[in-house]
Amino acid sequence: MAKIATKIFQAPGLILIFFIKIYRALISPLLGSNCRFIPTCSDYSMQAIEKYGAIKGLFLAIKRIFKCHPFHQGGIDNVP
């Protein structure tokens, strides 16, 4: 029973990671490497979702993506 509950809890995060992987495979190569941060925003998003789950991980990912613009210096920004 606990295994089923764990899988249900992890499902939203796995779905988000699936979409990030699709983005990285299909869209990212067309846009080129424009991220100002290390790790890249997609890597950061995957790490945040894996570490904190779908809700908090998605919140951290969105917060990070909003910082990724030409007026921000970028640099190393690891998942807290």
* CA 48/CA 77 separation, integer angstroms: 12
pTM here? 0.85
> Residue 41: which H helix or E strand, with range?
helix 41-52
Token pair for 63: 């917060």
Rounded to the nearest 10 degrees, the angle between the axes of helix 41-52 and helix 54-67 is 160
* Residues 19-35 pLDDT 10s: 999 999 999 999 887 88
* Residues 23-79 pLDDT 10s: 999 999 998 878 889 999 999 999 999 999 999 999 999 999 999 888 888 889 999
